[in-house]
Amino acid sequence: MNPGREPRQTTGPYPIGQQKPIGSAVTFVSGKFAGKTIRTELHEIQKAKLGRKYAKVDRRPLDPPPIVLLKYFVVENVGTPEEYEQEIDNYQTIQNVGIMCCLDLFPVPGYLAEAAGPSSSSPAGSETHGHIFRNRPTELTYFPLHPFNTTPAEMPPFQVPRRQPLLQTVTSGEQPRDVVHRIEQHLVTESSKLTPALVGEKFVEPVLVDYKGKGRLMFVFGDVAVQREGTFMLRYRAFDIWSLVSGPDQHPVLAESYGAIFRVYSTRDFPGLQASTELTKAVSRYGVRVTMRDSERKPKARTGTRSDSNCQSSGEESGGKQK
**What is d(CA 156, CA 89) in angstroms, rounded to the nearest whole number?**
49
State percent of the chain over pLDDT 70.
Answer: 71
- Say what the pLDDT of residue 11 is: 42
Mean pLDDT of 101-123: 72
Is the sign of the CA dihedral 272, 273, 274, 275 positive or negative?
Answer: negative
Tell me the pLDDT band of 54, cut-offs 50, 70 and 90. Answer: confident
pTM score, two decimals?
Answer: 0.78
**What is d(CA 227, CA 145) in angstroms, rounded to the nearest whole number?**
19
Q: Are 283 and 220 in contact (CB under 8 A)?
A: yes
Tell me the pLDDT band of 116, cut-offs 50, 70 and 90. Answer: low
Is the sign of the CA dihedral 104, 281, 60, 270 positive or negative?
Answer: positive
**What is d(CA 254, CA 18) in angstroms, rounded to the nearest whole number?**
10
Strand-pairing partners, residue 44, are: 68
- Say what the pLDDT of residue 308 is: 42
Q: What is the pLDDT of residues 254-274, one digit of tens each?
A: 999 999 999 999 888 888 888
CB atoms within 10 A of CB 7: 19
Residue 282 scores a pLDDT above 80:
yes
Mean pLDDT of 171-191: 88
- Say what the pLDDT of residue 162 is: 52
**What is d(CA 115, CA 96) in angstroms, rounded to the nearest whole number?**
37
Q: What is the pLDDT of residues 60-95, one digit of tens each?
A: 899 999 999 999 999 999 999 999 999 999 999 999
Residue 137 scores a pLDDT above 90:
no
- Say what the pLDDT of residue 134 is: 52
Which structural domains are found in the chain, ordered by start? Answer: 20-117+137-149+164-279 (2.60.40.3960)
Mean pLDDT of 199-223: 96
Residue 218 scores a pLDDT above 60:
yes
Mean pLDDT of 46-60: 85
Greatest alpha-carbon pair distance for the chain in Å reads 73
Q: What is the mean pLDDT of the chain?
A: 79
Tell me the pLDDT band of 159, cut-offs 50, 70 and 90. Answer: low
Lowest mean pLDDT among 96-105, 155-164, 202-211: 155-164
- Say what the pLDDT of residue 75 is: 98
- Say what the pLDDT of residue 267 is: 85
- Say what the pLDDT of residue 275 is: 87
What's the distance, Cα to Cα, between the start and end of the chain in Å? Answer: 38
Q: Are 291 and 317 in contact (CB under 8 A)?
A: yes
Residue 168 scores a pLDDT above 50:
yes
Residue 290 scores a pLDDT above 50:
yes
| Main-chain dihedrals φ then ψ at residue 280, nearest 5 degrees | -60, -45
